[in-house]
C-alpha cells in the first residue's frame, strides 16, 4: 500500500473488473474509470440496492414511527397522567360530578374569594389533583370560585405544574 500525500486514505494498486487494467485506487473501488464502470453489466444490477429495506413513502414512515413511539416507548410518556385520565373516564367521572355539586351546595353557590353569588362558577381543588390524586373527591379539598377569581389562583390551568407537593404541606 502506498500513502498518497494529497489524500488522507490508503491507495492500493488494483486491477479493473471489466478491462483488467492496473490502476491506483481505494480498496473498495473495482473499476479504473467511470466509462469502464458503465460499460460493465453489473452497474445496472446494483441500481436501487442502496435503498433496499428502506421505507418507500411518507405513509409507511408515519406508520412505522407510530408503532415505534406508541405508549411507554414514547419519550413524553407519563404513566401517572395516563392512570389519572383512565380513572376519570370511568366511575370516577360520576364521583367527580357529585363532588362538584356538593362543593357548590356547601358554599351556597357563592365565590369564596369575592363573595359573588351565582354566575359562572368553578369547583376548584385547593390541593391540585395531579399532586394529590387521593383527594380528588374529598369535599374538604374543594372550594367554589368564580372564573375571575379562579384565574388568579396558583392552581389554575398550567400554573399548577410549577407547584410541588411540599408547597402544600
Convert the pLDDT of each residue in 19-69 to its tens digit: 888 888 777 788 788 888 777 766 566 665 665 666 566 777 788 888 888
- Kindly list the distances between the CA atom of residue 45 and the CA atoms of 40, 41, 113, 165, in Å, as whole numbers in the listed order: 10, 8, 79, 65
pTM assigned to the model: 0.49
pLDDT for 50 equals 60
Nearest CA-CA partner of 40 in 21, 60, 59, 68: 21
Q: Confirm if 98 and 123 have CB atoms less than 8 A apart.
A: no
1 confidence band (pLDDT: 50, 70, 90): very low
Q: Phi/psi of residue 27, each to 5°?
A: -65, -25
H-state helical runs in 10-90 = 34-39, 42-46, 58-68, 79-89
> Where in the chain are the domains?
1-43, 79-168
Instruction: Return the percentage of the chain with pLDDT > 90, whole number.
Output: 29
The end-to-end CA distance of the chain, in Å, is: 74
H-state helical runs in the chain = 34-39, 42-46, 58-68, 79-89, 91-106, 147-152
90 confidence band (pLDDT: 50, 70, 90): low
What is the spatial order of strands in the sheet that 2-3 belongs to? Answer: 2-3, 10-15, 22-25
Q: How far apart are CA 48 and CA 26, in angstroms?
A: 23
Judged against a pLDDT cut of 60, whether residue 4 lies above it is answered with no
Q: How far apart are CA 76 and CA 159, in angstroms?
A: 19
Amino acid at each position: 500500500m502506498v500513502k498518497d500525500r494529497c489524500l488522507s486514505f490508503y491507495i492500493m494498486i488494483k486491477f479493473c473488473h471489466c478491462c483488467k487494467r492496473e490502476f491506483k485506487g481505494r480498496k473498495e473501488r473495482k473499476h479504473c474509470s467511470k466509462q469502464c464502470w458503465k460499460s460493465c453489466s453489473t452497474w445496472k444490477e446494483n441500481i436501487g440496492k442502496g435503498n433496499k429495506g428502506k421505507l418507500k413513502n411518507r405513509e409507511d414512515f408515519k406508520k412505522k414511527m407510530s408503532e415505534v413511539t406508541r405508549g411507554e416507548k414514547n419519550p413524553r410518556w407519563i404513566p401517572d397522567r395516563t392512570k389519572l385520565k383512565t380513572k376519570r373516564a370511568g366511575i370516577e367521572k360520576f364521583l367527580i360530578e357529585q363532588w362538584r355539586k356538593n362543593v357548590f351546595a356547601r358554599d351556597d353557590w357563592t365565590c369564596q374569594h369575592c363573595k359573588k353569588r351565582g354566575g359562572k362558577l368553578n369547583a376548584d381543588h385547593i390541593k391540585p389533583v395531579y399532586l394529590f390524586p387521593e383527594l380528588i373527591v374529598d369535599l374538604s379539598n374543594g372550594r367554589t370560585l368564580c372564573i375571575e377569581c379562579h384565574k388568579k389562583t396558583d392552581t389554575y390551568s398550567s400554573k399548577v405544574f410549577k407547584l410541588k407537593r411540599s408547597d402544600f404541606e
